Structure 1
Amino acid sequence: MGTARFSPPYVDRLRAADRWLRASERDAHAARYAVCRTTISALARVDSFYIGFFRDTDTVFIPYIYDHDQFLRPSIGRYGRHGVSHWVRTSKRPYVYRDDGGRLLTNAMPFGDTNEVSLDAVVVPLIDAETGDVTGLMSAQSLQPHSYDDEAIRALEWLGRALMHSFARDTAAQDELDLYTIYPELDTTGVQNETDLIDAVSSRVNRLHRGIRDLAQLAAPAGGAVAEAAQQLQHLSETTQIEIGDLFGAFADAAQGEDDGPDPAAELTAREREIAELIAREGVSNADLAEQLHISEKTVKTHVGNVLRKLGVAQRAGIELVLGPTMLQSTSRHRSKLPESP
């Protein structure tokens, strides 16, 4: 990110965004995404905007998409090595349309009105404040050329960093007393199993259903088309709740029917895999890991938390059970080839 100072209009808007991000409730992701979008939209023309996060090595999940002030449904898809997602993830730098005339953008996943072509765009990396890894991206696009000057690019990059720092504050507040590092199985904010997932989804759908039900009750006395539409919407929300339950059941049945599942450690980074092996094989503590790997104990805690989450276990003892003796024996022969990046 550049070091040039922002002009007064930018300072006013970015300071307001900073206040909103700092004051937002923990895990208020949608509100924070909206702060980023509305802020950059007030400073430059934005016809399309999205925020996405990487999954595995070639997949990006986009929970927040706006096209012409219309919220679109979340999207998930794979990306290739010749597109903007791969470039931003590997370079850790913002992609700017004018640098290549939009060449990389042509390989991006389409959304919104596919007949429209963006003539300017900026895609900035979302960098984990703890590990320094690129975990996602944020993009502003315009149908008008030359919409984003250097100041607008720096502003979007700053918003991306501010967003990621707000996530880091969530983690710091959660682990202020080290409660969930010591006892991760007691952290109810994390999804540990199918039951947790069903509960998390159901609570959100129920919240939506209650809002729709209240709307239907308010519209009922007036009668007419509005009341009828509200009643139909309430029925749709109830049907959707049932269908989601059926989908969970079908998914569980399919998972139980699989003989050979995927590599449980496939989502681990090289460093996370190394840490998982050391814990499973030698039972080393966080302090020992920090000393052996020449990284801070705080970074070790972050990696261990990621390992537990990705392997779907609540305690350190579960790591060995998931990896299994065969995998540990095979990986131990190749540990010297693992990269040394923290």
Structure 2
Amino acid sequence: MSVPRSRSGFSPEVAAALSQADRGIRARMGDHYALFDYWRFAMSTVCTVDAFYVGFYRDNRKIVYPYTFDVTLPVKQYVPPEVSGYGPKGQAAWILRHRRAYTFAEDNGALLHNGAAFGDERRASADAVTIPLFERRDGGLAVIGLASMQSYKAGVYSGEHVRAFEWTARSVATVLAREREDALDRDELAVPGAGSETGPPTVMDVVQDVSAILAALHAGICELEEAAALEGSPLLGRVRRLRRRCEQGQTETMDIIARPSLHEENLLNSLSSKEREIAFLIARGGMTNKEIAARVFVTESTIKGHVSRILRKLGVEQRSGIAARLGHFIEEPHR
């Protein structure tokens, strides 16, 4: 007797699991760790998932891996997010080129093992499915990333498992697209000149986001510390050290934008003392050449020559770029 199938072609058990997975995935919009972790969990209700990762393509043959999981690793060996390069003959390039799922069975894992290992590098996966992640652009579908589930046992993944993985990937893509649409809607309401959520983030944007995450983490550690103190827990000392390490991380994070970079120091040192004086007058108050000439007691044509050299040395084309280059030094000008 044949096994009854849903209209999608899935068995009743898999169809029910996918229906639940879709609801869970959509409920985790805005929290990508929870989103990818639940996606991995949802697939584990359908098939064996010993290792799992999600990656997104970036320029210059780079991939950002925001989520990686390996069931064999203890908690303290958590695999942190990372950015990694990929070669022209590896799995990532293959997915980008072929735009379809890759399975271990296609070449007995040759393509899989041609790439960099992750998780427990002492063990090799014996079965795997890696799929592309798509985003709708200009009326078509663009490959923006990839996801992989792997097993240390051979012959685990069937054709139904591959299709189930692709089906859940579409749910994840829907969530990511909705987040993008929401960001665009918010951007339309932004005050001109106040910044854009959809533009490339600046270093300050990233630092502020990380600082907010660390602040929330610090608050949670403080609650744990209070509870440990009340209970007289032997872990109190460790929790306090963890809090101090978090506070150190918060300080070091803000220090990224508080101190000038070596590049900025070198740019400033390339200016003569007179050029520095003029550059800071422009950066601080946006003074005109005529105003600067009166301030430093030289002719306007002399100021024009200085400004041209300043722009060239700082690598900017407009006077507004001088303030951007010297922003870290405006409070304490170098003379």
The answer to whether the superposition gives a TM-score over 0.5 is yes
Structure 2 residue aligned with 1:13 = 17
* 2:10 counterpart SS class: coil
8 Å Cα contact 1:129-1:165 kept in structure 2: no
Query: What is the CA deviation profile of residues 135-193 of structure 1, one whole-angstrom value per residue up to 9, with x for unaligned ones?
Result: 11100000000111001111111111211111111222344587169959554576642
Rounded Cα–Cα distance in structure 2 between residues aligned with 1:189 and 1:219: 43
Say which SS state the counterpart of residue 93 (structure 1) adopts: coil
Deviation at 1:77, TM superposition (A): 1.1
Q: Does 1:55 align with 2:58?
A: yes
Shift of 1:104: 0.8
Q: Aligned partners of 1:144, 1:253: CA distance in 2, in Å?
A: 49
Q: Any gaps of 5 or more consecutive residues in structure 2?
A: 1-6, 268-314, 318-335
Q: Distance in 2 between matches of 1:249 and 1:34?
A: 35
Correspondence for 1:263: none
- Residues 1:24 and 2:33 aligned together: no
Give the TM-score, by structure 1 length: 0.69
In 1, the alpha carbon distance for the partners of 2:200 and 2:61 equals: 23
The TM-score, its normalising length taken from structure 2, stands at: 0.70
Matches within 5 A, 1:1-342: 5-25=9-29, 27-68=30-71, 71-131=78-138, 132-176=141-185, 179=188, 185-188=194-197, 192-249=201-258, 253-256=261-264
Q: After the TM superposition, which parts of structure 1 deviate over 3 Å for at least 4 consecutive aligned residues?
A: 173-178, 180-192, 246-250
In the TM superposition, residue 57 of structure 1 has moved relative to its aligned partner by 3.5
CA RMSD of aligned residues (A): 2.8
User: Cα–Cα, structure 1 residues 257 and 9, in superposed 2: closer, same or farther, change >3 Å?
Assistant: farther
State the Cα distance separating 1:18 from its structure 2 match: 1.2
Query: CA separation in 2, counterparts of 1:142 and 1:47?
Result: 5
Higher relative contact order (CA 8 A, sep 6+): 1
Native 8 Å contact 2:26 2:172 kept in 1? no
Q: How many matched pairs?
A: 259
Q: Which amino acid aligns with 2:215?
A: N
The CA distance in 1 between the partners of 2:47 and 2:134, in whole Å, is 23
Structure 1 121/254 Cα, relative in aligned 2: closer, same or farther at 3 Å?
A: farther
Give secondary structure in 1 for the equivalent of 2:137: coil
Asked whether the 8 Å contact 1:130–1:168 carries over to 2, the reply is: no
Letter in 1 for 2:14: Y
Task: Kindly state the Cα deviation for residue 118 of structure 1 after the two structures are TM-superposed.
Answer: 0.2
Describe the superposition over 1:47-105 as per-residue Cα deviations: whole angstroms up to 9, x where unpaired.
10000111113111111011107542112211111110110011111111100111111
Contact 2:25-2:39 within 8 A present in 1 as well: no
SS at 1:133's partner residue?
strand
Kindly provide the amino acid, as one letter, of the partner of residue 177 in structure 2.
A
Distance 1:175 1:97 in 2: 39
Describe the SS at the equivalent of 1:129: strand
Residues 95 and 248 of structure 1, relative CA distance in 2, 3 Å threshold: farther
> Could you tell me which amino acid in structure 1 is paired with residue 253 of structure 2?
I
